[in-house]
């Protein structure tokens, strides 16, 4: 007899069996993504339960964070998280918009890819590098040059003056917001750039045909057309800023209090967890930190999910994935 | 009319000029960060960085235990996360294409992609560290692996979708089962794209600090034991940079330079591969 050949039917059966295995494996891996989300949520609720049970709603409304008396309230950290992220957004959004406009409209074609790549590389720099850069380079600059000026010029104004009073520490909410702004800049830019590019050419040509200037085309045609995408991109950046840890931990000052001034040290949810978790003694302390994590997760989930839904609607319209 | 036109032109020039300035500002920031890294980190770069372990305050030493720990945990994390990610992407692009489950999974994956990494650290802490009773390198690797999954799912699915369906149909027409089509036709065709995705995931986790803080912790000494705390570059940088000791701060800068160079080279490499093979734009995030 010649070489051993496997009967055709056996081979078919083998193929079918591998097919079943492969399909089950792929489905299981896909379902694992869902399980991860559920698992994270469950683990955080489980870990934070003792704190949530003890403090109930007070956990959200109290500012006192005292490990000695075991009094834990999340409000100061929540305040710092929101304020630093807002500062970051106020600084990053106009700059991101400018870069996106430059890269899609004014920039010479041959320069678009290299400049675009450089801006995106900013997103690849690890957050801890932003942190030490913020602490050793940015904070002293802000302390000696920018903050004294802010205190002099804005400190005496009637309404917003309160935000710029007190000694220039260098580190604090403003500095943290500044570092966050640099970090989220490439993410917002990248989404804005993509949605600007998706503007139908005919719309722009029509506006030029009516005699619009380049800027008028951007402001009155491209931007309204890309509105949903721009908002989605900003919210995506906001989600990043809220949850960013290392860059903030270095420069925020880690003080659990709410002071009126932006120049004062504060803390954020993520910075509190990063700083205190390994040193936390006792169930209540650890569990309060995990409850903080739960708060952060829910907060960012809502923002990011809303942003993604906005972008998803756009994708359906343009067929491109954002 | 003429005055009006002049005003409109001036507005346009000012606004577009400002957009150029914004770009300069962005580029200058990147340059400033890189300049600081080089000027402060390069001087500390010597052979002892790669041969000695992390020192006590005031004495000399290197980063070898941290580098070793980072490499081990990053590769383990990649080994855990990348296959799961590619399999899940296979489901989304092949088996479940267009059905409601894959729409939901894609959405959740996009949310996980931007979820705060410190929360992943807390998750692995309650799941692994509390069960084992102590911090360990394996817990660190698991948390990095969890971060790898959404990154790989996203890029791998995009790459698999680029493969024309005519290739799948040709394979099916020869009598191949879907799994054979996927492994013998789709994967090889998307090879460079998948590689890009894995490289981007590697770049993403190389500098991750937050999820390692309370999973792998840190270790002053050389340790190759996966069930024990292990030193790693990001956490060492964090600890050394915030210390008052000059030699620790200098090592922190050197470590930061090493990580940043590694990550930037990886990102550029991933870009080159995807553009060389025409696998389309790979996006950050």
* C-alpha triplet A11, A15, A16: angle, nearest 5°: 115
More confident residue, B97 or A288: A288
Q: CB-CB: which of B237, B241, B284 is closest to A190?
A: B284
Residues 46-65 of B with CB under 8 A from A: none
Band of the pLDDT at A3, cuts 50, 70, 90?
Answer: low
A71: phi then psi, degrees, rounded to nearest 5: -105, 120
CA A64, CA B179: separation in Å to the nearest integer?
58
Q: List Cα–Cα distances, A300 to A86, A220, B75, B104, B114, in angstroms.
A: 14, 32, 28, 18, 9
Q: Cα distance from B220 to chain A (closest Cα, Å)? A: 16
Mean local confidence (pLDDT), B59-76? 92
Residues of B in contact with A187 (CB under 8 A): 284-285
pLDDT at position B282: 42
Greatest Cα-to-Cα distance within chain A, rounded to the nearest angstrom: 102
Residues 89-128 of B with CB under 8 A from A: 90-92, 94-96, 101-102, 104-105, 107-112, 114-120, 122-123, 125-127
Is B30 near chain A, with CB under 8 Å?
yes
Judged by CB atoms closer than 8 Å, whether chains meet at A32 and B252 is answered as no
Chain B residue with minimum CA distance to A42? B123
pLDDT at position B279: 47
ipTM > 0.85 for the complex: yes
Which tens digits make up the pLDDT trace of A266-305?
A: 999 999 999 999 888 888 999 999 999 999 999 999 999 9
pLDDT at position A146: 87
Query: Which contiguous run of DSSP H or E holds residue A72?
Result: strand A71-72
- The 3-state DSSP class for residue A157 equals coil
Which tens digits make up the pLDDT trace of A54-84?
A: 998 889 888 889 888 888 999 999 999 999 9
Distance of CA B229 to the CA centre of its chain: 22
Judged by CB atoms closer than 8 Å, whether chains meet at A98 and B22 is answered as yes
Question: Does the pLDDT value for residue A218 go beyond 90?
Answer: yes
Q: Which has the closest alpha carbon to B266: A113, A121, A119?
A: A121
Is B10 near chain A, with CB under 8 Å?
no
Which tens digits make up the pLDDT trace of A127-153?
A: 999 999 999 999 999 999 888 888 888
Judged by CB atoms closer than 8 Å, whether chains meet at A30 and B105 is answered as yes
pLDDT at position B280: 46
Q: Cα distance from A271 to chain B (closest Cα, Å)? A: 9
Q: Which of A9, A16, A29, A37 to mutate to test the interface with B (most CBs of B within 10 A)?
A: A29
Q: Cα distance from B168 to chain A (closest Cα, Å)? A: 15
Surface-to-core class of residue B221, CB atoms within 10 Å of its CB (0-12 exposed, 13-18 middle, 19+ buried): exposed
Judged by CB atoms closer than 8 Å, whether chains meet at B95 and A23 is answered as yes
CA A251, CA A51: separation in Å to the nearest integer?
28
Mean local confidence (pLDDT), A99-122? 92
Is A36 near chain B, with CB under 8 Å?
yes
Which tens digits make up the pLDDT trace of B159-168?
A: 999 999 999 9
Question: Does the pLDDT value for residue B30 go beyond 70?
Answer: yes
Judged by CB atoms closer than 8 Å, whether chains meet at B209 and A30 is answered as no
Question: Does the pLDDT value for residue A320 go beyond 80?
Answer: no
Q: List Cα–Cα distances, B174 to A115, B167, B190, in angstroms.
A: 47, 11, 20
Is A55 near chain B, with CB under 8 Å?
no
Which tens digits make up the pLDDT trace of A120-129?
A: 999 999 999 9
For β-strands A71-72 and A65-66, DSSP reports them as: antiparallel
Residues of B in contact with A296 (CB under 8 A): 116, 118-119
Judged by CB atoms closer than 8 Å, whether chains meet at A26 and B88 is answered as yes
pLDDT at position A119: 92
Judged by CB atoms closer than 8 Å, whether chains meet at A29 and B237 is answered as no
Which tens digits make up the pLDDT trace of B103-124?
A: 999 999 999 998 899 999 999 9
Question: Does the pLDDT value for residue B258 go beyond 60?
Answer: yes
Judged by CB atoms closer than 8 Å, whether chains meet at B264 and A95 is answered as no
Q: List Cα–Cα distances, A287 to A65, A67, A273, B212, in angstroms.
A: 13, 12, 11, 19
Q: Which has the closest alpha carbon to B114: A287, A286, A232?
A: A232
Judged by CB atoms closer than 8 Å, whether chains meet at B88 and A30 is answered as yes
Judged by CB atoms closer than 8 Å, whether chains meet at B30 and A297 is answered as no
Band of the pLDDT at A160, cuts 50, 70, 90?
Answer: confident
Residues 141-200 of B with CB under 8 A from A: 146, 149-150, 153, 158, 177-180, 182-183
Q: What is the mean pLDDT of chain B?
A: 90
Judged by CB atoms closer than 8 Å, whether chains meet at B19 and A99 is answered as yes
Question: Does the pLDDT value for residue B242 go beyond 80?
Answer: yes
pLDDT at position A47: 93
Which tens digits make up the pLDDT trace of B172-206?
A: 999 899 999 999 999 999 999 899 999 999 999 99
């Amino acid at each position: 007899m010649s070489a051993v050949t496997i009967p055709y039917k056996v081979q078919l059966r083998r193929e079918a069996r591998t097919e079943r295995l492969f399909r089950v494996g792929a489905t299981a891996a896909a379902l694992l993504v869902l399980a991860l989300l559920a698992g994270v949520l469950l683990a955080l609720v489980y870990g934070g339960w003792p704190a949530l049970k003890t403090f109930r709603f007070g956990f959200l409304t109290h500012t006192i964070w005292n490990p000695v008396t075991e009094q834990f309230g999340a409000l100061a950290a929540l305040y710092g998280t929101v304020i630093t992220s807002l500062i970051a957004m106020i600084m990053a959004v106009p700059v991101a918009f400018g870069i996106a406009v430059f890269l899609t409209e004014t920039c010479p074609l041959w320069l678009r890819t290299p400049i675009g790549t450089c801006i995106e590389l900013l997103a690849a720099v690890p957050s801890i590098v932003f942190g030490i850069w913020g602490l050793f380079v940015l904070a002293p600059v802000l302390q000696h040059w920018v903050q004294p000026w802010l205190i002099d010029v804005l400190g005496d104004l009637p309404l917003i003056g309160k935000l710029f009073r007190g000694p220039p520490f260098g580190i604090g909410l403003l500095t943290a917001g500044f570092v966050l702004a640099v970090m989220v800049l490439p993410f917002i830019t990248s989404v804005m750039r993509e949605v600007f590019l998706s503007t139908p050419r005919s719309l722009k040509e029509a506006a030029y045909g009516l005699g619009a200037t380049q800027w008028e085309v951007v402001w009155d045609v491209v931007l309204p057309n890309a509105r949903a995408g721009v908002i989605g991109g900003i919210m995506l950046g906001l989600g990043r800023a809220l949850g960013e840890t290392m860059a903030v931990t270095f420069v925020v000052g880690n003080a659990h209090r709410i002071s009126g001034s932006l120049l004062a040290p504060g803390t954020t949810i993520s910075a509190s967890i990063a700083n205190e978790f390994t040193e936390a003694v006792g169930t209540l302390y650890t569990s309060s930190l995990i409850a903080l994590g739960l708060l952060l997760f829910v907060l960012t989930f809502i923002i990011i999910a809303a942003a993604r839904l906005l972008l998803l609607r756009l994708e359906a319209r343009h067929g491109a994935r954002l | 009319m003429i005055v009006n036109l002049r005003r409109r032109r001036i507005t346009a020039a000012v606004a577009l000029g400002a957009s150029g300035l914004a770009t300069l500002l962005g580029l200058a920031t990147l340059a400033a960060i890189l300049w600081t890294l080089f000027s402060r980190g390069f001087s500390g770069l010597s052979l002892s960085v790669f041969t000695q372990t992390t020192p006590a305050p005031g004495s000399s030493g290197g980063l070898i235990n941290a580098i070793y720990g980072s490499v081990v945990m990053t590769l383990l994390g990649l080994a855990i996360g990348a296959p799961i990610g590619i399999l899940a992407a296979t489901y989304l692009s092949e088996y479940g294409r267009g059905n409601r489950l894959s729409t939901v999974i894609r959405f959740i994956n996009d949310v996980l992609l931007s979820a705060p990494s410190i929360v992943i650290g807390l998750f692995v802490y309650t799941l692994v560290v509390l069960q084992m009773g102590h911090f360990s390198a394996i817990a660190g690797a698991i948390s990095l692996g969890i971060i790898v999954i959404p990154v790989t799912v996203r890029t791998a699915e995009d790459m698999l979708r680029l493969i024309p369906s005519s290739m799948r149909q040709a394979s099916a027409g020869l009598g191949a089962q879907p799994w054979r089509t996927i492994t013998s036709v789709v994967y090889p065709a998307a090879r460079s794209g998948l590689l890009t995705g894995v490289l981007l995931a590697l770049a993403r986790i190389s500098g991750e600090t937050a999820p390692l803080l309370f999973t792998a912790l840190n270790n002053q000494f050389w340790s190759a034991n996966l069930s024990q705390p292990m030193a790693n570059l990001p956490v060492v940088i964090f600890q050394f940079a915030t210390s008052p000791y000059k030699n620790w701060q200098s090592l922190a800068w050197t470590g930061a330079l090493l990580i940043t160079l590694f990550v930037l080279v990886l990102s550029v490499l991933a870009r080159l591969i995807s553009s060389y093979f025409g696998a389309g734009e790979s996006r950050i995030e």
